[in-house]
């Protein structure tokens, strides 16, 4: 990637982080974003407020090795699952992680989101799965996330938050926003009765019809 386009990419990651916070999808510095860049990933640094980020403060981490221990800024503490997902999903170039309130409320109950709405198909199947609890930043969490997302582009993380992927920043962010909306609808529907869940056959039909539905960059 030439230096100009890598600079533009770094700025678009910062803009995406700022948008996640102003849209209410994330709070403080708890979310993080990575984008594949050749055999590396550009990832947000640990513990720096988004509104203080400059493009050169983002971290460049190899996809096949640990981060440089003497780099000026440390990558997000969640770099392991970002790296594992980008390696496991060569067709996906972006990983977004956040703690949206409604998704996290369901994850705190340790439940997945079933096919309560046809838009669940935006995540590749008939549910958005729940990943078992593991310590943030751990290799165990990276393994659990990668396994749960083998056939999916979104998941809930027990007592933690959510992850989405995409082949562009726009698509990964769209999925995170959509996931939070689905979680809100599911919780609202449960508050006034028992939600009806779409059948496997109905969802298979939607997944088939979906194709590459969603925004492009």
Nearest approach, Cβ of residue 79 and Zn ion (Å): 12
Mark whether 177 is an active-site residue.
Answer: no
- 179 and 163 Cβ atoms separated by less than 8 Å: no
Helix (H) or strand (E) holding 106: helix 101-108
Residues near 170 by Cβ (< 8 Å), separated by ≥ 6? 215, 216, 217
In the complex, the residues that contact Zn ion under the rule CB under 5 A are 161
Residue number, 68 or 159, with CB nearest to Zn ion:
159
Of the listed 78, 177, 178, 180, which one is catalytic?
A: 78
Q: Which is nearer to Zn ion, 137 or 214 (CB)?
A: 137
State the minimum distance, in angstroms, from the CB of residue 75 to Zn ion.
14
Cβ distance 166 to 178 under 8 Å? Answer: no
45 versus 161: smaller Cβ distance to Zn ion: 161
What are the phi and psi torsion angles at 110 (to 5°)?
Answer: 55, 55
Closer residue to Zn ion (CB): 61 or 98: 98
Nearest alpha carbon to residue 43 among 93, 115, 110, 102 = 93
Q: Nearest distance from residue 160's CB to Zn ion, in Å? A: 6
Task: Name the residue number minimizing CB distance to Zn ion.
Answer: 161
Supply the minimum distance, in Å, between the C-beta of residue 32 and Zn ion. 7
Judge contact between 117 and 199, C-beta under 8 A. no
| Residues with catalytic function | 78
């Amino acid at each position: 990637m030439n230096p100009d386009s890598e600079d533009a990419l770094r700025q678009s990651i910062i803009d995406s982080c700022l948008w996640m916070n102003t849209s209410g999808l994330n709070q403080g510095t708890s979310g993080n974003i990575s984008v594949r860049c050749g055999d590396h990933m550009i990832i947000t640094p640990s513990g720096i407020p988004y509104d203080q980020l400059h493009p050169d403060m983002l971290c460049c981490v190899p996809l096949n090795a640990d981060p440089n221990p003497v780099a000026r800024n440390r990558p997000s503490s969640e770099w392991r699952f970002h790296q594992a997902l980008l390696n496991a999903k060569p067709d996906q170039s972006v990983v977004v992680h956040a703690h949206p309130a409604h998704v996290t409320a369901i994850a705190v109950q340790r439940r997945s989101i079933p096919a309560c709405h046809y838009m669940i198909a935006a995540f590749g199947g008939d549910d958005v799965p729940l990943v078992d609890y593991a310590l943030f930043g751990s290799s165990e969490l990276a393994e659990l996330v990668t396994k749960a997302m083998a056939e999916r582009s979104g998941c809930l993380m027990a007592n933690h938050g959510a992850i989405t992927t995409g082949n562009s920043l726009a698509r990964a962010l769209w999925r995170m926003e959509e996931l939070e909306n689905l979680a809100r609808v599911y919780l609202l529907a449960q508050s006034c009765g028992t939600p009806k869940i779409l059948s496997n056959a109905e969802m298979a039909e939607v997944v088939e019809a979906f194709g590459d539905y969603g925004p492009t960059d």
